[in-house]
């Protein structure tokens, strides 16, 4: 598959993923205080079930295309300190791996029935901060040079 097509797949999946996290952290948290807690729990359960059905495919596309793109930059990644691009890309990939760790933890907690309340909010906030940093790095690595 061409680099351009992989980049478009990666970007579309990144938009779907970052958009979902933005919706959960910014929009959903904003309506919490306007709804009864039982209703909110039902809404969160329904969104959670939908996310479990859709997000694995989004993540498969995001990480699959990301790995294929990174393969083309393997010479730079083998020497992360050799250029600003290599360093920023390395940090971006490390953060993306951390996001994957968050996702695996969320699935584990969800199966055990403990993914709720403050624990769930902290996890979402952490993923949101990671995603913001990843997107800034993804653009900075192309335009920042030293
Ligand atoms: C949470 C996960 C991730 C997010 C949100 C994300 C997001 C992005 C974004 C927004 C871009 C810029 C695309 C553009 O503007 O054209 C990008 C580029 C890139 N990503 Fe990711 N990414 C993620 C995971 C990964 C992973 C796991 C890898 C590799 C192992 C990776 C490798 C790359 C590479 C090599 C580019 C540069 C492509 C280029 O501009 O030539 N990404 N990523």
Reported confidence tier of residue 113, pLDDT bands at 50, 70, 90: confident
Query: Do 21 and 128 touch, CB atoms closer than 8 A?
Result: yes
Reported confidence tier of residue 32, pLDDT bands at 50, 70, 90: confident
Q: Which residues line ligand 1 (CB under 6 A)?
A: 7, 10-11, 14, 17-18, 62-63, 66-67, 69-70, 73, 89, 93, 96, 99, 131, 134-135, 138, 142
Total number of domains in the chain:
1
Reported confidence tier of residue 117, pLDDT bands at 50, 70, 90: confident
For CA atoms 89, 20, 62, 111, give the dihedral sign. Answer: positive
Cα separations in angstroms, 138 against 15, 36, 40 = 13, 40, 35
What is the average per-residue pLDDT within 139-144? 95
Structural domain span for residue 128: 3-143
Nearest 5°: the CA angle 75, 6, 142 is: 55
Q: Is the pLDDT of residue 93 over 90?
A: yes
Look up residue 79 and give its DSSP letter: S
Mutate to test the pocket of ligand 1, among 92, 93, 106, 128 (most ligand atoms within 8 A of CB): 92
Report the candidate in 51, 50, 63, 53 with the shortest Cα–Cα distance to residue 9: 63
Q: Is the pLDDT of residue 44 over 90?
A: no
What is the average per-residue pLDDT within 2-16? 98
Cα separations in angstroms, 20 against 28, 47, 78, 81, 108 = 10, 10, 33, 33, 20
Q: What does pTM read for this prediction?
A: 0.92
Distance, CA of 134 to CA of 93 (rounded, Å): 8
């Amino acid at each position: 598959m061409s680099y351009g097509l992989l980049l478009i797949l990666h970007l579309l999946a990144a938009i779907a993923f970052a958009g979902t996290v933005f919706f959960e952290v910014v929009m959903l948290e904003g309506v919490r205080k306007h709804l009864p807690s039982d209703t909110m729990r039902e809404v969160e359960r329904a969104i959670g079930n939908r996310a479990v059905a859709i997000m694995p495919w989004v993540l498969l596309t995001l990480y699959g295309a990301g790995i294929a793109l990174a393969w083309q930059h393997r010479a730079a990644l083998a020497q992360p300190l050799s250029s600003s691009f290599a360093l920023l890309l390395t940090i971006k990939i490390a953060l993306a791996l951390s996001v994957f760790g968050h996702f695996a933890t969320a699935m584990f907690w969800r199966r055990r029935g403990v993914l709720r309340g403050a624990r769930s909010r902290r996890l979402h906030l952490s993923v949101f901060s990671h995603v913001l940093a990843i997107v800034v790095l993804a653009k900075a690595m192309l335009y920042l040079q030293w």
